[in-house]
Structure 1
């Protein structure tokens, strides 16, 4: 596997055990008892070359996933990546070339495409948000609004687009949101007291964040000793006020109502972090295709040669 493109970001990697689990589940779902069509129509000796091509411009995420899917089906399949994850590409670009037994490539192609299209869609929309806040100190981060079972892959795609990750799971940090505060209020517990009590119980490495939705909540929460305060659905003017009240005592995260049309104005208020659920819950799959041809010397059934899968 080789790559000739230079990535503008280093997205890191997807945990191998997570990637294996996703691929195994997807392949079992797609061909639980084999690929009846290919095993019936395609000669066992047929080999094929397929090109992963871009039908629209975007940012790639999932090249190594394509490799992993192909090798999970058949380790003899050779994959050459012409574009690195995190790199921008244009419509018509060839992103990867796949060569191997035709039956194996046909069995792997849909799972590989589904994943690389999904991840590249996330990377592409993330890059647009990152570009929109360039020149500010705000960082774009994802949320837990991910596809069940695909969080690690989708968070990787956000990094490919130049974004950053919020907490991975409920186990990673304390983040008290509106429902937590409602339960505390109903129990007669003040938020300031709850934060101070949490600080006493938590280890020194555990991050503590609290969400507020009113200006009058900012000072009591910050004074109680949070690491990050989330200002939820604040107007740009109120965000400026909130940032002024915090005055560097905690990180300030803006959330709610964030879109490509509003994100630049939000970033200009001086917040440190902007969380955007749309990076994962609303990103559409990018239009990529795998076009395949049967190797010379092997007869192809009518309609198979050079067909788009």
Structure 2
């Protein structure tokens, strides 16, 4: 997985690019009518309910835009919120607050939605040993924010990107000439490049599970679109040889049943690609 330093670099890139995109050569709306020396205060107002996410990111945005802005935090990341709650106050340069406003809201609305959905899945898994994972089905350019939001909601991150874990899916297997060939070529590649990366292999049926188990060095087997019955059989076959993961169209109605099959992880792209933004506002006070 990526290091904390790498992750923070991703966050700083997101902030810098978003401000570049939004501000360009200046926030002319504010420059036109608000004096440079004007001071103000605003509150982050919740107009919805769920799990708040992106508070720490917002603090980094304000710091980037203007280190002199002051934040009074009332509700931390991961907290349950309802309509009318105030998450924080920000005070300082009025121009700076307005420059940061849209990035803060856009990020927090999406991060809160992802954290809320993730939390609902985590709650559905309570009492089992199964953990919820995200995927790479994220919005291009802001993956770090969306994966951060999953963790805020109590989920776990899968690999961050193509470079920090090897995942041999159906297309890799087919292009490589089969499961055994793909695994052996991968193991040789890791030796040749002196890389230490975990290997996940996707199985489409029980026959493929058995073939994967013939090779050593596989960290986790992904059971893709398996029925409940076949999932239970696969878990029994795999035993403690490696970890197990279920994926493929799993939703609120089926997640508990898959967990009860005994898998270690359930991955869901819906955590990041199918959410409805939380309604938040930044209002002057």
State the TM-score, normalized to the length of structure 1.
Answer: 0.85
Matched, 1:117 2:122: no
Q: Secondary structure at the match of 2:213?
A: helix
Moved over 6 A (4+): none
Aligned-pair CA distance for 1:262: 1.4
CA deviation vs aligned residue, 1:55-82 (integer Å, no higher than 9, x gap): 1111122112111212222222111111
Give the structure 2 partner of residue 301 of structure 1.
Answer: none
What is the 5 A alignment of 1:108-187?
A: 108-185=100-177
Find the structure with the greater CA-based Rg: 1
Aligned residues: 278
CA deviation vs aligned residue, 1:23-70 (integer Å, no higher than 9, x gap): 111111111021111111223333211110111111122112111212
Give the structure 2 partner of residue 3 of structure 1.
Answer: none
Match of 1:222 among 206, 213, 216: 213
Gaps of 5+ in 2: none
- Structure 2 CA distance, aligned partners of 1:69 and 1:206? 33
Matched, 1:67 2:59: yes
Residues 62 and 97 of structure 2 are in contact (CA less than 8 Å); yes or no, is this contact kept in structure 1?
Answer: yes
Q: Secondary structure at the match of 1:147?
A: coil
Q: Name the Cα RMSD after superposition.
A: 1.8
- Structure 1 CA distance, aligned partners of 2:16 and 2:166? 33
- Structure 1 CA distance, aligned partners of 2:6 and 2:45? 23
Where is the helix percentage greater, Structure 1 or Structure 2? 2
Matched, 1:202 2:193: no
What is the 5 A alignment of 1:42-121?
A: 42-121=34-113
Residues 226-235 or 14-23, more deviating: 14-23
Residues 51 and 78 of structure 2 are in contact (CA less than 8 Å); yes or no, is this contact kept in structure 1?
Answer: yes
Residues 14 and 153 of structure 1 are in contact (CA less than 8 Å); yes or no, is this contact kept in structure 2?
Answer: no
Q: Secondary structure at the match of 1:169?
A: coil
Residues 172 and 182 of structure 2 are in contact (CA less than 8 Å); yes or no, is this contact kept in structure 1?
Answer: no
What is the 5 A alignment of 1:226-237?
A: 226-237=218-229
Matched, 1:286 2:274: no
Residues 232 and 261 of structure 2 are in contact (CA less than 8 Å); yes or no, is this contact kept in structure 1?
Answer: yes
Matched, 1:30 2:18: no
- Structure 2 CA distance, aligned partners of 1:54 and 1:168? 30
Aligned-pair CA distance for 1:84: 1.3
Match of 1:272 among 225, 249, 264: 264
- Structure 2 CA distance, aligned partners of 1:218 and 1:15? 34
Distance 1:261 1:14, change over 3 A: farther
Give the structure 2 partner of residue 15 of structure 1.
Answer: 7
